[in-house]
Amino acid sequence: MSPPLPRIAVTAGEPAGIGPELVLRLAASDLDADLVAIADPDQLQATAATLGLAPRLLPYTAGSPAGSRRPGELRVLPVPLRHPVRPGVLDPANAPHVLAMLARAADGARDGEFDAIVTAPVHKGVINDAGVAFTGHTEFFADRAGCKVAMMLVADSLRVALATTHLPLAAVPAAITPAALATVIEILARDLRLRFGLAQPRIAVLGLNPHAGEGGHLGREEIDVIIPTLERLRAKGLQLTGPLPADTAFVPHRLADCDAVLAMYHDQGLPVLKHAGFGHAVNVTLGLPYVRTSVDHGTALDLAGSGRADAGSMIAAARLACRLARPPG
């Protein structure tokens, strides 16, 4: 008997963006998974009608066994909108709807109801405009699970993780402490082993400053924080190189010698990864007690309702979620 399909919770994201369309495009794919959309079913139907799609939306019952799925089929766990939606027009009144979708997915994955979560993009600004402090999916799921996490993006064989995530650039140096850096590296190494099946993951660590500090002439963070932290972790058996100058760390011969790159801040590593794989790259939250993946782009309000959204990253995120939910070995 073949094993049951992985059950994947799919959150529809910002309702005024392209998230509902991405969910429907994913449902139309041949993905071999039991997809459960956490969304407003009426909005999914209305979006499908606008796009000329004819999905088969099925009610979801918690505890029901995962079954086979044909392209176009989608089980729906309803979370109603709070206010009517106009494509491309943000409305803070629907921020509670977005957060309720995320909370239901997180709680279900925590309890073993879902094997993984795949998230369509949300709009951080409109949630904050609603009076809720929100810095992103990554931080939301970490807080909900009560654990430390790390963000990593994957594009084919390129994996780039972040020592800090959604911070103003001026706040980055103070956030890179020995304890924080060690935690991120240990999470990254552990999940590369457990989720990606790499027995001895090789991690290339970037410096914070140009030329990795130029021996202290361009900043002391490498000398005072990064190098001592790497030395301590190497003594524990982790395979770490660096700190490397960021401007040469992504050349092919260096990437051939590592399984993942750890960048010190968001815009140090992600522009390279998105140049290499935009449209099919996947955001992975490491350190959670469950699998969570997401698209590599935002809400694309200008494309909402047009039928022109590219679902490549959403489908790639779901495929990777299925693979990580069934790790090697």
Which residues belong to the annotated binding site? 137-138, 166, 211, 266, 274, 283, 292
DSSP, residue by residue, 192-223: HHHTT--SS-EEEEE-SSGGGGGGGTT-SHII
AA identity, residue 95: A
Query: What would the two tokens of residue 217 be?
Result: 């002439």
Query: What would the two tokens of residue 140 be?
Result: 């939301």
Instruction: Return d(Cα 132, Cα 141) in angstroms, integer.
Output: 15
DSSP, residue by residue, 49-108: HHHT---EEEE--TTPPP----TTEEEEEE---SS--BTTB--GGGHHHHHHHHHHHHHH
Contact yes or no for 213/207 (Cβ under 8 A): yes
* Cα→Cα distances 73→54, 316, 320, Å: 10, 18, 20
Contact yes or no for 313/325 (Cβ under 8 A): no
Could you say which DSSP state residue 158 is in? Answer: E
How far does CA 261 lie from the centroid of its chain?
16
Q: Which residues are annotated as a binding site for substrate?
A: 137-138, 274, 283, 292
Closest CA to 86 of 15, 141, 156, 137: 15
Contact yes or no for 283/317 (Cβ under 8 A): yes
R_g over Cα of the chain: 20
Q: Which residues are annotated as a binding site for a divalent metal cation?
A: 166, 211, 266
Instruction: Return d(Cα 243, Cα 268) in angstroms, integer.
Output: 14
